[in-house]
Amino acid sequence: MFHRSSTITALAFSAAMLAPVSASELRVGFTLDAMTLDPANHRKRETETIIRNIYDGLLTRDAKMKVVPELAESWTQVDPQTYDFKVRQGVTFHDGTPMTADDIVFTFERLTKDDAMGGQTSPRKDLVGPIKEIKKIDDRTVRFSLSEPWPILPAMLPVQEVVSKAFTEKVGSQGLATQTNGTGPFKLVEWRKGDSIILQRYDAYYGGATEIPPVGKACVDRVIFRVIPENASRVAALLAGEVDIINELPPYDMKKVETNSNTKVMKVNGTRTFFVALNNTKKPFDDPRVRQAANMAINKALIIDKVLLGTAVPLNGVMSPDAFGYNPDLPAYPFDADKAKKLLAEAGYPNGVDATIDTEGAFKEITEAVASMLTKAGIRTKVNVGEGSTLRAKWAPKSDKSGDMYFTSWGNGSLDPADIFVPTLRTGDRGNSAYYSNKEVDVLLDAANVEVDQAKRADLYKRAQAIVNKDAPWIFLWLPQDLYGVSKRVSGWEPSADSRINLHDACVK
Amino acid sequence: MKPLALISRITQLVPVLLGVSVIVFVMMALTPGDPVEIMLADQQATPEQVQAMRHDMGLDRPALERFGIFLSNALTGDFGLSFFHRRPVFDVIAERLPATIELTLAALLLALAISIPLGVVAAVKKNGVVDRLAAIGSLFGTSLPGFWFGIILIILFAVQFKLLPVSGRLDFGCEVPPVTHLMTVDSLLRGRPSCFADALSHLILPALTLSLPMAAVLTRVQRSAMLEVLRSDYIVFAEAKGISRRRILWRHALKNALVPTVTVAAIETGSLLGGNMVVETVFGWPGLGRLVVESIFVRNYPLVQAAVLLYAVTYVLLNFFADVLYTTLNPRVRL
């Protein structure tokens, strides 16, 4: 027995000898490995998070989710369908070659042209929008021409990264999956697949977005993304000091991380809006009073507190508070079961109504909470658990519109209403599961779509949000927050709504 | 062994693999969920993008045609592109396989090292303390779920005592050029004892977790086999000849008592491949098991099909290997 334990101690000792010698190594305990390191050949946020530390984009976002220039120096919208980007000078790829306008044109042609990646079409194609042509005007200017107005182009560009034309042509699309040559703050040292991605500071880095200080080289020498898919193990690695930042901290482990003297919890609003779509074309929810009653029946604060353990913010409309054009003045429907019953009676349902709410298995419990609250307020609700694709088909805009209620959500990675408000609430649009139709809202949304003046565009969306709030096509629910566990030795890093972990400015003590 | 037996064994593989291919294909096809939808789930995609992806993945063809293409390509060793990695399935699996092999071998060795001596002692000192403890230990070993046991080990040895790492395979300070791709072996071959110690420290907890249920079963098997052998005539005869107890046990009895243990061990090694999926996830071990679990979740058909075929081949080969071992341990058995 003595012998065995001394072996373990010896092993642990020699393992400790290898543990961080240099102080500036930052380790991230991360849920998923990168699928690929090719910036154009995936559709996964986790993969993007890793790639974004190696590759920079034309534009990026600051911690407040404002879109700012990165590899571009600035941009101008010439008309609703034309954007000019001024190319930053003096940027080099990790192999030392300068980045030029040709690299930018090449990158976006690879993203948007069919079969442009060794016979494959980029899965990120539609994230670049309805591109007609990308042209180099001169060495300092690249022009994006669109086939139709798409006001979220700048909001979507931070999710694309610029690759080197020469390097990509040399290694091919297959080669780009595992080899990198970016312009970002870190260069790849080694990718131990399924285990870790080891990055090292790129010393000739141009400094990053000028609007996000500090500008300059990265703070830490090395960054390591360690793949730890299991929640309990990821938390254990943070508590044991093996990693400095973990993503997807489970809410029930928040206390553990808070009580540990070396770690803390950091929260940030996500980008996914949860709501219950009400069938606006069918009794009883064709009557706005019934829809308002449904909104008053829900004690959102209680659900957020008890079921979501405080990790969500309540919404009174479609948009995240961090989104462009968010209207902060929308009135909340107060939780009031009696008033809800009164509204039901006014609408001609003094004895209440029977209804069914559709939901996916993953949200069964929370939907049951919603259903029991509705039932108490007179909308006797039965929960029907279905499979995702089946439910989406049932609630598609061109379906037979037979459902009553649908507990669902819509992601808004661009944090722009054009990517959530328009598809979910414009008459007949692809995600309009409530079959909501209001001419006034449609007019405002269409006007915003072609409005070049950003202040005016925001104002149009704000007005539309006020109308939707009153019409209550949905039961407005909440926006879940993302949780991170962070070691107290990390400074200069904040979680961001787009779930990226940009480590350019992060330092370790 | 006769060469004919070998050939017949290999031909037996063909219907097995074909059957497995059909089952996997049908199961994956019947499982609700669509790889394209899952892949595009983060941000809602336009119908055109969905169509382009479906075409790239060959999902716009009828299922039967897809199966035909899969079979004919698989015969030439081409398993297609992994939907999500967008690289050849073969490459993706090959990158992850060595970690699984290393873990499985370690768990197998550990299980044998625990169970054989324990089983023998339990049989010799029947109803003694060791026997009773072994019985209780086996009960726990078979009934404790791997993920729970793994997490308990992590909390104890990594978080509380800080003796062993939580997860991973090798420290980032260690860059060992690959020879066999087994980290413990490579670090020794390259003369890096500190890296060997590090690799071993990463290997201990997952290997222990994985080996426990197997060790439990093998201990029971070893014990009952030993008991049976000890009751047989030739042992009584050997005792009558005055051969020492120790020599009887380890030279005469154990050899015969090992036969069932070897069979069960070979079959259980196959099931270690299944246990790997859980253990690799808990310990962040970069092996094939975790890759397969992740691939099933996202309906990565090509990868799941290829990996399950690989599992099937391994399973059949392991059984074959057990039969061969039989004949060496007990020459009376003929294949």
- Which residues, other chains included, contact A140 with Cβ-Cβ below 8 Å and sequence gap of 6+? A86, A87, A89, A101
* C-alpha–C-alpha distance, residues A144 and A105, integer Å: 9
Q: Which residues of B touch A25 (CB under 8 A)?
A: 172
Q: Which residues of A touch B47 (CB under 8 A)?
A: 430
Beta bridge partners of A196: A192, A226
Which residues span the domain enclosing A372?
272-481
Neighbour count for residue A213 (Cβ, 10 Å): 11
Length of chain A: 509
Assess whether A463 and A315 both reside in one domain.
yes
CATH number at residue A166: 3.40.190.10
Tell me the residues of chain B between 69 and 88 that have a Cβ less than 8 Å away from chain A. 84-87
Tell me the residues of chain B between 140 and 159 that have a Cβ less than 8 Å away from chain A. 147, 151, 154-155, 158-159
Assess whether A199 and A288 both reside in one domain.
no
pLDDT, one tens digit per residue, over A344-375 is 999 999 999 999 999 998 899 999 999 999 99
CA distance B206 to chain A (A): 12
- Under DSSP, is residue A483 helix (H, G, I), strand (E, B) or coil? strand
Residue B27 above 60 pLDDT?
yes
| pLDDT in the model for residue A509 | 87
Q: Does B178 touch chain A (CB under 8 A)?
A: no
| pLDDT in the model for residue A11 | 46
Interhelix angle B89-124/B288-297, rounded to 10 degrees, is 120
Residue B220 above 90 pLDDT?
yes
Residue ranges of chain A with pLDDT lower than 70? Answer: 1-23
- Which residues, other chains included, contact B27 with Cβ-Cβ below 8 Å and sequence gap of 6+? none
**CB-count burial class (<10 Å; 0-12, 13-18, 19+) for A384:** middle
Is residue A463 a part of any domain in this protein? yes
Strands A353-360 and A379-386: parallel
Assess whether A223 and A290 both reside in one domain.
no
Q: Which residues of A touch B46 (CB under 8 A)?
A: 126, 430
pLDDT, one tens digit per residue, over B78-91 is 999 998 888 999 99
ipTM for this model? 0.89
pLDDT, one tens digit per residue, over B275-331 is 788 999 999 999 999 999 999 888 899 999 999 999 988 888 888 888 877 777 777
Neighbour count for residue A413 (Cβ, 10 Å): 24
Question: Of A77, A79, A57, which is closest to residue A68 (Cα–Cα)?
Answer: A57
CA distance B327 to chain A (A): 36
> Considering only A417-426, B153-162, B237-246, which range has the smallest mean pLDDT?
B237-246
Is residue A50 a part of any domain in this protein? yes
pLDDT, one tens digit per residue, over A451-486 is 989 999 999 999 999 999 999 999 999 999 999 999
* C-alpha–C-alpha distance, residues B318 and B265, integer Å: 9
Assess whether A469 and A493 both reside in one domain.
no
Choose, out of A28, A114, A156, A195, the residue to mutate when testing the contact with B (most B CBs < 10 Å).
A195
- Name the residue among B45, B172, B195 with its Cβ closest to that of A126: B45
DSSP output for B30-66? HSS--HHHHHT-SSPPPHHHHHHHHHHTTTTS-HHHH
Assess whether A402 and A500 both reside in one domain.
no
Tell me which amino acid residue A85 is: F
CATH number at residue B192: 1.10.3720.10
Tell me the residues of chain B between 6 and 65 that have a Cβ less than 8 Å away from chain A. 32-34, 37, 39-40, 42-49, 52-53, 55-56
Beta bridge partners of A30: A227
Torsion of CA B13, B59, A146, A117, to 10 degrees: 20
Report how far apart, in Å, the C-alpha atoms of A233 and of each of A29, A309, A358, A502, B155 are.
9, 21, 34, 23, 9
Which residues span the domain enclosing B206?
95-285
Length of chain B: 335
CA distance B244 to chain A (A): 28
| A500 touches A50 (CB < 8 A) | no
* C-alpha–C-alpha distance, residues A48 and B170, integer Å: 25
> Considering only A109-118, A286-295, B6-15, B198-207, which range has the smallest mean pLDDT?
B6-15
pTM of the model: 0.89
Assess whether A257 and A277 both reside in one domain.
no
Domain count, chain B: 1
Residue position matching structure tokens 């929810």: A285
CATH number at residue A320: 3.10.105.10
| pLDDT in the model for residue A8 | 45
Angle at CA of residue B112, ends B109 and B113, nearest 5°: 80
Is residue A415 a part of any domain in this protein? yes
> Residue A121 and residue B52: Cβ atoms within 8 Å?
yes
Q: Pinpoint the alpha helices (H) of A178-299.
A: 231-239, 254-259, 288-297
Q: Which residues of B touch A41 (CB under 8 A)?
A: 86
Report how far apart, in Å, the C-alpha atoms of B135 and of each of A365, B31, B117, B150, B296 are.
41, 41, 14, 21, 37
| pLDDT in the model for residue B313 | 86
| A485 touches A501 (CB < 8 A) | no
Interhelix angle A337-346/A288-297, rounded to 10 degrees, is 170
> Residue B151 and residue A42: Cβ atoms within 8 Å?
no
Distance of CA A58 to the CA centre of its chain: 18
- Name the residue among A19, A190, A230 with its Cβ closest to that of B282: A230
Torsion of CA A78, A182, A166, A132, to 10 degrees: -30
Question: Of A254, A269, A266, A250, which is closest to residue A313 (Cα–Cα)?
Answer: A269
* C-alpha–C-alpha distance, residues A103 and A153, integer Å: 19
* C-alpha–C-alpha distance, residues A366 and A363, integer Å: 6
| B122 touches B134 (CB < 8 A) | yes
| pLDDT in the model for residue A1 | 35
> Residue B39 and residue A38: Cβ atoms within 8 Å?
no
| A386 touches A358 (CB < 8 A) | yes
| B329 touches B262 (CB < 8 A) | yes
What whole-number percentage of chain B has pLDDT above 70?
97
Angle at CA of residue A234, ends A233 and A237, nearest 5°: 85
Assess whether A257 and A354 both reside in one domain.
no
| A177 touches B87 (CB < 8 A) | yes
What whole-number percentage of chain B has pLDDT above 90?
45
Assess whether A27 and A95 both reside in one domain.
yes
Domain count, chain A: 2
Bigger pLDDT: B7 vs A386: A386
Neighbour count for residue A382 (Cβ, 10 Å): 12
| pLDDT in the model for residue B103 | 95
- Give the DSSP letter of residue B177: P
Assess whether A351 and A415 both reside in one domain.
yes
Beta bridge partners of A68: A60
